[in-house]
Amino acid sequence: MEIELFDLGILVGNWESISLNPTVMIHRNGENHQLSIIYMNETTKQVSPSTYEIQEDEDGYFMYFNGKKLRLLIAKD
């Protein structure tokens, strides 16, 4: 399968779900991009943020989530 890299800059910003939980942010940190997920517990009202570095290799973009390597792909019409 041929992978076409895309510009991560097009994804930078805040992404909110319809129910506003969780909020997802993609932002730059120097030369790198990071993905942050902010989840609010409805019972305790406590916020739990998590941030992951988006990395790149010869097969495209990925990040490690709970010890697993996850590929980042954009679906094209």
The pLDDT score that the predictor gives to residue 20 is 66
Given a contact cutoff of 8 angstroms between Cβ atoms, the answer to whether 16 and 29 are in contact is no
Cα–Cα distance, 70 to 56 (Å, whole number): 11
The pLDDT score that the predictor gives to residue 70 is 92
The pLDDT score that the predictor gives to residue 2 is 53
The pLDDT score that the predictor gives to residue 3 is 53
The pLDDT score that the predictor gives to residue 34 is 93
pTM assigned to the model:
0.71
User: Which residue numbers in the chain have pLDDT < 50?
Assistant: none
CA dihedral 1, 76, 53, 30 (to 10 degrees): 120
